[in-house]
Homo-oligomer: A and B are copies of this chain.
């Protein structure tokens, strides 16, 4: 059995040692750069843990796990262009360090590389793994487009929001774990159960992200606390607040959504106070816990080594009680 930090080390070592073609440097340098920026390596680690859960060989799952991490970083490179984001993990984004054209093209070649890494699985499961991966990749693109659409929509319902984060965030965690399970030769029923675990964990994870953006400790969060409020981002908290607010609260919330020239701190404080009055943090936490419980109950259905299940539960809890 492997613990989570052993798996993260394994992935980081593989990333550090990966060789890229030398030319054209403008195509491959950005890939090396973004992959080396770090991160929790959550998705490949979950893939490896799922494989290990079904007593599969971690080493057989390592290249597909790398494929998932390359795919995830491809989405970051392209999303950062779309969001005009200057920084990623405290460093210049690829399109800032190089330019938009290089970021588009490096991203494209990363998607191809992700498929190539995914193809290292045995012939007997090649089609199944690639089908899961293609569905996940399509879902992530659909989720990103839906998220962009939300920016200009007047109203978004909680259900629409949950479907968006399911596509944008949760299916990748779910698919990673299902691929790990397939490599570990899990039965279909158990591969589906681990998919459910990953999907609900992903939903809970994204809600925690929404909560941390407002209530995180500025010292530990790593990003600007209140960033979503400043950008009027339609998160679970804002959508719920718009749903619940009446009279003066409603007026005040709408005022801040249309206010463009105030001190950001004043806006963040004011909107956070409205959130507190409406109790949306508690509602978000309740929703998050519901997803987390669903995830854990899917895990329960899987007959596997109880120590390994315990380790997966512990990792899930670590992801949900995190501070950044």
When the two chains form their complex, are residues B119 and A130 in contact, meaning their CB atoms are under 8 A apart? yes
A127 to B144, CA, bound (A): 30
* Interface of chain A residues 72 through 99 with chain B (CB within 8 A): 78, 81-82
**How near does chain B come to A164, taking the closest CB pair, in angstroms?**
10
A55 in contact (CB, < 8 A)? no
Whether A111 touches B111, Cβ cut-off 8 Å, given contacts A26-B145, A82-B104, is: yes
> Which residue of B is nearest A136, CB measured?
B112
When the two chains form their complex, are residues A82 and B105 in contact, meaning their CB atoms are under 8 A apart? yes
Number of chain copies forming the complex:
2
When the two chains form their complex, are residues A104 and B119 in contact, meaning their CB atoms are under 8 A apart? no
**How near does chain B come to A197, taking the closest CB pair, in angstroms?**
24
Whether A141 touches B81, Cβ cut-off 8 Å, given contacts A115-B130, A131-B119, is: no
A43 to B46, CA, bound (A): 40
The residues of B that contact A23 with a CB separation of less than 8 Å are: 142, 146
The residues of B that contact A126 with a CB separation of less than 8 Å are: 123, 126-127
When the two chains form their complex, are residues A105 and B145 in contact, meaning their CB atoms are under 8 A apart? yes
**How near does chain B come to A106, taking the closest CB pair, in angstroms?**
8
Whether A101 touches B82, Cβ cut-off 8 Å, given contacts A26-B149, A126-B126, is: yes
When the two chains form their complex, are residues B105 and A134 in contact, meaning their CB atoms are under 8 A apart? no
A38 in contact (CB, < 8 A)? no
20 contacts between A and B (CB under 8 A): A23-B146, A24-B145, A26-B148, A78-B104, A81-B104, A82-B101, A82-B104, A105-B145, A105-B148, A108-B141, A109-B138, A112-B137, A112-B138, A115-B115, A115-B130, A115-B134, A119-B130, A119-B131, A119-B134, A126-B127
A interface residue numbers (CB < 8 A to B): 21, 23-24, 26-27, 78, 81-82, 100-102, 104-105, 107-109, 111-113, 115-116, 119, 123, 126-127, 130-131, 134, 137-138, 141-142, 144-146, 148-149
